Amino acid sequence: MSTLRDVAKRARVSPMTVSRVANGAPGVRPETRRRVEKAIADLGFIPNGVARGLKSSKTGALGLIVPDIVNPFFAVVVRGAETVARRAGYRLLLCISENDLALERQYVEDMISHQVEGLLIAPVGDRSLDNVLPLVQRKFPFVLMDRGVKGIDGDLVQGDNLAGARRLVRHLISIGHRRIAAILEPDNVSTARERLGGYREALETAGIAFDPELVAETSGDRAGGYSAMHQILSLHPLPTAVVAINNMTALGAMQAVRERGLKVPTDIALVCFDDVEHLAVLSPFLTVMNQPAESFGTVAAQLLLDRIAGKAGPRRRQVVLQPHLLVRESCGAKAGLPAPRGATDGQGTDDRDR
C-alpha cells in the first residue's frame, strides 16, 4: 500500500501538505491541490482514518453486537442501524456473539480498545450483566436492543413482547384452539419472560388453566425449534396449536412436524414472532406477530448518536415498538379448517386483539 510519504514524493510536496489535502483543509494553492490529488489517485492512496481518529479522539466508528445474523430479524436490525450510521458519517463495525457470553465479552472489550465512539448491543440475556456493566462504569455511550439486562438501567429499544404474545394467543383462542403449546427461550432472556407473561395472560382471560408441560424451553434458533417441537409432539393429547418465540424456531418446528408425517395447519397450527419476508413472498403461510425490525436498528442508532453528541440527559430512555398481527394459513383461520376438538367459540377474548 502506498504511504503518505510516497504521495508527497510524487507530488513534490511535504507530507504535511498531503495531509492537509487529504483532510480537506483550506490554505493549499489550487495548483498544488490538483497535483496532490492526482498523485493520490495514481498511487491508490487511502488515508489512514484510524490514525487520524486517534489524534482527534473521533474514530467515526460505531460498534454493533448481535447474537445471530442468520435470523432475518437481526439482519434487518443491522440494516436499519447501518443506514442511520452511514447518513451521520459513521462506519458500523459488526460483531456476532453467537449467544456466547465469553465471545460477547471479548467483542465489548475489542470495541472499547478500537475506540469506537458508541456501542449498540442485542445482549445474550440477563447473564450479559458482567459484560455490559463496564460500559456503565466508564460512562461509555451504548444502547441495548431487543433484550434488556436485569441490573442495567441504560437506553433500550424493545418490542411490546407481552402485548404481542397475548394478542397472538388470543387469536388462536378466538378461532377455537384451547390446548396451546409454546416454544420459548429460557427466562433469563427478557423477551422470553415477557412473551411467556403474555401467553399466560391470554390463557387466564379465556379461562384456560396454564399447563407448564405445554411450555418447551430451548435455544432461539432452528435447531432449538426442531428439538422443542419433537418434545411437544410426544405429549398426549397433542396440542392443537404451538406458539414459537421467533421465526427460526418456527422453521425448526415445521421440520419436526413434517418428519412425524403431520401437516400444518391440518394436524397442528403453528404461529410465531417475526416475519420471514422472503418466505412470505414465495408462500404466504406463517401467521406471525411481526415486529418492525428495521425500526429497532434505526431508533437505537439515533438514540446512540444523540448520546454521543451530548443531546441525551442522564436518565434512561426506553422505546417500546408495537408489533402487528399477520394472519395467514398456518393458524388454520384462512384454510377453512373445522375448529379443533375440545375448542370453544372464543368467548373471553378481547375483540381489540382479534
pLDDT in tens, 305-330: 999 999 988 888 999 999 999 999 99
Q: Is residue 81 part of a domain?
A: yes
The total domain count for the chain is 3
End-to-end CA distance of the chain: 62
pLDDT in tens, 76-133: 999 999 999 999 999 999 999 999 999 999 999 989 888 899 999 999 999 999 999 9
Q: Is residue 136 part of a domain?
A: yes
Low-confidence ranges of the chain (pLDDT < 70): 1, 47-57, 277-284, 333-354
User: Do 38 and 72 fall into the same domain?
Assistant: no
Q: Is residue 65 part of a domain?
A: yes
Q: Is residue 299 part of a domain?
A: yes
User: Do 153 and 248 fall into the same domain?
Assistant: no
User: Do 106 and 230 fall into the same domain?
Assistant: no
User: Do 345 and 247 fall into the same domain?
Assistant: yes
pLDDT score recorded for residue 333 = 67
Range of the domain at 71: 60-159+293-321
Query: What is the radius of gyration, based on Cα positions, of the chain?
Result: 26
User: Do 218 and 334 fall into the same domain?
Assistant: yes
Q: Is residue 26 part of a domain?
A: yes
pLDDT score recorded for residue 354 = 33
Q: Is residue 52 part of a domain?
A: no
Q: Is residue 55 part of a domain?
A: no
Helix axis angle for 161-174 and 190-205, nearest 10°, is: 40
Question: Which CATH number fits the domain that encloses residue 43?
Answer: 1.10.260.40
Sign of the C-alpha dihedral, residues 278, 281, 283, 288?
A: positive
Report yes or no on whether pTM surpasses 0.85. no
Question: Which CATH number fits the domain that encloses residue 155?
Answer: 3.40.50.2300
User: Do 302 and 285 fall into the same domain?
Assistant: no
Q: Is residue 208 part of a domain?
A: yes
User: Do 29 and 153 fall into the same domain?
Assistant: no
pLDDT score recorded for residue 101 = 96
User: Do 120 and 152 fall into the same domain?
Assistant: yes
Q: Which residue, among 151, 253, 245, 138, has the nearest Cα to 196 in the 3D structure?
A: 245
* 176 SS3 class: coil
User: Do 228 and 302 fall into the same domain?
Assistant: no
User: Do 231 and 334 fall into the same domain?
Assistant: yes
User: Do 261 and 339 fall into the same domain?
Assistant: yes
Residues facing residue 272 across a β-bridge: 244, 288
User: Do 186 and 78 fall into the same domain?
Assistant: no
The phi-psi region of residue 346 (left if phi > 0; otherwise alpha if psi is between -120 and 50; otherwise beta) is: left
Residue type, 76: V
